[in-house]
Each structure stands twice: as C-alpha cells, then as structure tokens.
Structure 1
Amino acid sequence: MAARRAKVIAITSGKGGVGKSTLTVSLGIAAATSGKRVLLIEMDVGLRGMDIMLGLNNVVYDLGDLLEGRCNISSAIVPSPNVPELYAIVAPVLMGQVLLQDIQLLVEGLRSYFDLIFLDMPAGLGLGIRATCAVADLALIISTPDPVCIRDGNQVVRELAARGFTSHRLLINRVDRKFIRKRVVQNLDEVIDGVGSQLIGVIPEDPEVTLFSSSGRLPDEKGELQRICKAICSRLDGEYRPLIVR
C-alpha cells in the first residue's frame, strides 16, 4: 500500500464574510464521503466556528495549544462525530504570535497521515498569504460576485504572485440562481477576469448553507451543495467535471 502524502489546499480570500469557513468544511465533508482521509485546520485565530459547523462538542485543545506545546498532535486532532475519516484542528480563541516555521513543521508532519489537508486561512494579505506560500500545494480563492470582493481577490492573486506562488483557483460563492439557470457565463467571466484566477467552481446562493454554518446541521449528502463540492474535489484530483453543477 502506497504511503500517504496529503495534498495541502489553502482556502483564502481577500475579504472576510464570503463563506470561506463554510466552504472549507463543505469541501472536507465532500472529500471524506468520497473516500479520502481529510484534515481541516482552522487558522483564523479568535474566530473559531468550525467546531459548531461540525458538531464538535467539548473541544479541549486547539491549534494554539498545539503550537505552544500544551498538547500533542493526537490530542488536538478531533474526529467528526458524523463523518468518518474527517478530522479537525480548531482555531484558538486567543493566541500569541504565530510563527511560520511552526506551521510548516506541523503541516509537513501531518502530510503522511491524510490524503487531503484543507487550511481555513484568515482573510486578507497577512498570515494567510505567508502560510499559503510556505505550506500549500494549491490555494482556493473564495470570492462573491461583487466589486469589493473581486478587487480584494485580485489583491490576493497579486500578493501570491509577488511571492512566487502561482498555483491557485477561483471559487465563486453566493451566485444569483438566475445566472445558474440561464448559464450566463459572461457574468461569471467578469469575476474571473477581475480576480485573475482560473475558475474551479460556482456555488449558488443557498439557504441550506446559512443553516449549516449557524446550527451545525450537516448539509444533505445528496443535496446541491455537496454535489457541487464533490465535483470540485474531483477537479482537484484532475478529473473532468462541468463547472456548473445542477
């Protein structure tokens, strides 16, 4: 049996509030239910939410405890109670300075135990960008189709390029359903051109996503969100899937 060597995917955005964490968890669920062993690492210090989305009760240790030596790796990694082969390390509520070399050592040490590692990065051009360039194989840039998000997404692409990192894809979230139904590609082209990254998926506006992110109620495995996320995971593996999944 071949040894595991996880593909590390950073989920990032220029602007907060675009659904980055929700999509990180959704992609993790999709990959795990498709047979992958998946780890989610929540990197956004002070903005923990992954425990609620995954229904993780009574989390004892977090990323801060792990990086600051208060627990070992096995104590910080929490299995999902509802999705086999899905695991998480949640963000700390408070933490001192995050050292890039500590993140590098952690991620490299975990690669051999998983098939996929998704990093839920903080928005903006700080730690998320530096950590992406240091440890990720691919960055998924999340944007909604509004001018501010598009501009900020392009800033992420430019900052990554300035650091020599060019392996990125665009995931457009909260797209008006009338564009999906009519397959109005030119409207999406404006987002793609504005951000400057190749498209990997389109997520329509969906009340199920809001319910999932606020209540911990997992998305329907056969529902639209999971169908789309599974198609994205297949594309990450190099398989062909239509960009618009209905």
Structure 2
Amino acid sequence: MSDADVELPESIELAWGLRERPGKGPRRSLTMEQVVAAGIRVAEADGLPAVSMSRVAGELGVGTMSLYRYVSAKSDLLELMADAAYGDPPAPRGPGEEWRPALARWARANVTAVHRHPWTRQVPVGGPPMGPNGVRWMEAGLAALRGTGLRGTERLSTIMLVSGYARNWATLTADMTEAAAREQLSPDAVGVRYWQQLARLTRNGPYPAIRELYAEEVDGGEEEDFEAEWRFGLDRILDGVEVLIRSRTAAD
C-alpha cells in the first residue's frame, strides 16, 4: 500500500505539514499552529471547559465556521492542543545509558508535561498518538527499550503501561494540588489532615487493617512523601519489566 492510499484526518495532515491549503475554496487565512495556540491560551486562562469553537474563533478574530477548515470537530482541536502542550520528549537514551534510567526519565517527563499544563489531563484520549509530538514521545519511549530483547508488542505494551501510570499519577497529584489550593493549604497539610481524620473514623469498628497500617507507618503529624510514592510505584513496574527482559536474555 502506497502513502497515497492511507487516509489521514485533515487536521492531522495539517499538523504534520502534509497539507498546506485545500485544492478548492478560499485560501486559508490562518495556520493550524495559530488555531491550536489560541485554544491553548483559552485553556491556560480559564480552563478546558472554556474552550469552544466560538471562543477560539473570537480569540483569533474570525468567524466560528472558519475553524472548521482546520478541525472537523472540537475533539480534534482538543487533541491537537494537548499534543502541542506536551512539547518535546526528553533527550533520547544516551550512549552507555541503560534502558531502566532512560525509561524512568521518560516517565518523569510525562508527569512534568501534565503538571506544566494541568488542563491536558482532562482531554479524553481518543486513540493512539497521531499528533507530531505524541508520535515523537512514542518514538522516545520505544527507543529507551531498544536492545533489551523485548518483542515489538512487548516494547509497545511497556511504554503504554509506564505512560498510563505516569498519567494517573500526574492527574492524582494535580487534582490534590488544586483541591489544596482551594482550601489555601499545601498538599502535605491536606495529607496530614486526612490521616488524622481517618484515624478518628476507624478507631472502632471492622477496620483492623487500616489501624495496623496507621500504627506501623503513619505518624499523624508527618508530611506525605509524594516523591517516594512515585518512585515506589514506578520501580515496581520497572522491576516487572526487568524480570521479563532477563527471561528473554536467559532464553537467548
């Protein structure tokens, strides 16, 4: 099958620079980059719910229908906005760098990207990456696993697993940060308060496991160590991947 036989959404062709302007109709007055940048400005200023085709068109000083020459639906615009906001992937795996620290850097960069633009966590994932940055992130993740002996589907499943954990962690911590800000507290202070409240609620009744946890690990005045929690989860995932890689090496 030739490239000409592969159909792509028009917005993706524009984002990749594969289509400059339509063959028929009036010449485009904007670029895809301008449309996406306007959507991002709205999301940064007033949150993702504020993004609408009419609001973005107003930001650009054009009629709403003009935007449909670039994106066929608002969902397409949101996906392209998230792709642009993610920006560049981390530096590729360097010479002599092992797969594990390279993939850990890639995972951390995913979290940083979401924390830099928290509204991106609210953009529904409509399918595999197709935007320019999303595909570059995919390439960087796969490249971190090059030479490990994992099969192609295993490398792909690994980066999906790691990125899913990173996205979930970024979403959780961003939600907690926003909730704490609304109460004018730090996330650590909210965590301390939670454990104090939980201890009171479960002091009696059928909660022996929670009381045991609280007695062993939780000090009612101790701050949460979010970095340690992040590393614990990521390390357990990478431990499992390492077991699979070692089994491939042993088999070879």
Q: Fold-level match, TM-score > 0.5?
A: no
Larger Cα Rg: Structure 1 or Structure 2?
2
Q: Which of the two has greater helix per residue?
A: 2
